[in-house]
């Protein structure tokens, strides 16, 4: 047999998948390589889907209208994610000024920084910081004050779609749900220690789950029998079992909705999302320059209530010179193109003069 010349790499064939189209996340090799397979990615987006490993930014035009970014300004993207909003902000800066981008996800932040660097946005105009936005005051002490700030509070599609992150009940994977997998406890660990009353409160407070008591009872019952809830599917099975008393014709749809709410409630809990947001909102005025403009995009009624309350209270106190009178929603056209935009709510505020 002829030997392979030293230093040459053996050609690796892609993993074959069943059927005519890939279904598993790691089989969607074209969607996971958007730069190489642009036609495939555009086709998925035109059909209203989100390509695997990507995130389609929401309310981009509305956010840019609010922030009114001009070349030479200095501002923050407090939740970098896939970098879609940051890319559009950097276009507005047109090579002048600076954007500081924060993210707590150690898995995605490096990928996004490389993506933006490859587009020509280097250290002269972009600084990526691995930090939770609750530490915005620490960032401002070094780089502030800021003339504009964006916070997109939603979980990115590439996090939801990756089964190894455990964010979706639709895909088999470890029950993790942490934005930073190296910090805190996973959702599986949380379910091993939480008591029935606390779980009921969590499900009601974080996701308005109407069957919180039945689901909590089922979780505790499974735990007492020595059966672990370690995967996304095992939790989904517990929810389905808890709702087995429902009439068959309405059970399937109700189980889906309850699964989505249970996963949301656990994600909010393990990431301390409400507490982090409250801390961020308290610190926000102190990091903004006079006249600095703020846009916050939320996807949960509890988050939106916190933003609305903070903006109104600080407006009454004279700290913000103006705030959004009404919530801004994505257009009908955007919701058709991207179904994940449907629950988005956008609010804004302007820092007053000192």
CATH number at residue 103: 3.40.50.150
**99 in a domain, yes or no?**
yes
Region of poorest pLDDT, from 52-66, 138-152, 174-188: 52-66
Domain co-membership, 73 together with 147: yes
Residue 184's H or E segment, with its range, is none
Domain co-membership, 255 together with 186: yes
Higher pLDDT, 28 or 261: 261
Residue 231: which of 191, 202, 182 has the closest Cα?
191
**80 in a domain, yes or no?**
yes
**36 in a domain, yes or no?**
no
> Final residue of a domain: which of 226, 255, 270?
270
Integer CA distances (angstroms), 138 to 81, 132, 176, in order: 20, 10, 28
**pLDDT for the residue 21:** 55
Domain count for the chain: 2
Is 262 buried (19+), middle (13-18) or exposed (0-12) by CB count in 10 A? buried
**19 in a domain, yes or no?**
no
**17 in a domain, yes or no?**
no
Query: Could you tell me the pTM of the whole model?
Result: 0.81
**pLDDT for the residue 14:** 56
Partnered with residue 127 across adjacent β-strands are 100
Higher pLDDT, 31 or 135: 135
- CATH number reported for the structural domain that contains residue 202 in this entry: 1.10.150
> Final residue of a domain: which of 226, 244, 270?
270
Token pair 């949301």 is found at: 264
**23 in a domain, yes or no?**
no
**186 in a domain, yes or no?**
yes
**185 in a domain, yes or no?**
yes
The answer to whether residue 243 scores a pLDDT higher than 50 is yes
Confidence of residue 353 (pLDDT cuts 50, 70, 90): confident
Domain co-membership, 65 together with 153: yes
The answer to whether residue 29 scores a pLDDT higher than 50 is no
**Which residues span the domain enclosing 187?**
180-270
Domain co-membership, 137 together with 284: yes
Mean pLDDT of the chain, nearest integer: 86
pLDDT digits (tens, 9 = 90+) for 51-81: 444 558 899 999 999 999 999 999 999 999 8
Domain co-membership, 263 together with 232: yes
Q: Which of the given ranges, 42-56, 287-301, 324-338, has the highest pLDDT on average?
A: 287-301
Region of poorest pLDDT, from 93-102, 191-200, 265-274, 334-343: 334-343
């Amino acid at each position: 047999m002829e030997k392979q010349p030293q230093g040459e790499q053996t050609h690796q064939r892609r993993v074959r998948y069943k059927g005519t189209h890939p279904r598993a996340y790691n089989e969607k090799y074209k969607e996971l390589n958007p730069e190489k397979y642009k036609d495939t990615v555009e086709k998925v987006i035109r059909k209203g889907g989100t390509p695997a490993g990507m995130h389609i930014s929401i309310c981009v035009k509305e956010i840019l209208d609010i922030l009114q970014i001009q070349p030479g300004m200095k501002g923050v993207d407090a939740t970098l994610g896939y970098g879609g909003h940051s890319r559009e902000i950097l276009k507005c800066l047109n090579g002048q000024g600076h954007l500081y981008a924060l993210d707590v996800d150690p898995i995605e932040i490096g990928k996004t920084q490389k993506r933006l660097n490859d587009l020509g946005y280097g250290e002269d105009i972009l600084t990526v910081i691995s930090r939770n936005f609750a530490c915005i005051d620490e960032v401002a002490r070094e780089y502030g004050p800021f003339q504009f700030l964006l916070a997109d509070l939603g979980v990115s599609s590439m996090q939801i779609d990756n089964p190894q992150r455990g964010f979706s009940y639709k895909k088999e994977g470890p029950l993790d749900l942490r934005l930073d997998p190296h910090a805190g406890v996973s959702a599986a660990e949380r379910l091993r220690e939480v008591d029935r009353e606390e779980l009921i409160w969590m499900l009601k407070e974080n996701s308005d789950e109407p069957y919180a008591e039945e689901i909590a009872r089922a979780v505790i019952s499974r735990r007492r029998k020595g059966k672990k809830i370690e995967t996304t599917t095992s939790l989904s099975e517990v929810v389905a079992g808890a709702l087995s008393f429902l009439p068959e014709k309405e059970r399937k749809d109700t189980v889906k909705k309850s699964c989505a709410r249970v996963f949301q409630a656990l994600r909010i809990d393990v990431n301390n999302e409400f507490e982090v947001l409250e801390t961020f909102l308290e610190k926000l005025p102190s990091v903004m320059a006079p006249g600095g403009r703020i846009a916050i995009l939320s996807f949960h009624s509890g988050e939106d209530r916190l933003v609305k309350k903070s903006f109104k209270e600080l407006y009454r106190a004279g700290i913000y010179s103006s705030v959004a009178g009404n919530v801004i929603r994505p257009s009908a056209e955007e919701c058709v193109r991207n179904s994940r935009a449907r629950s988005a709510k956008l609010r804004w505020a302007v820092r007053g003069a000192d």
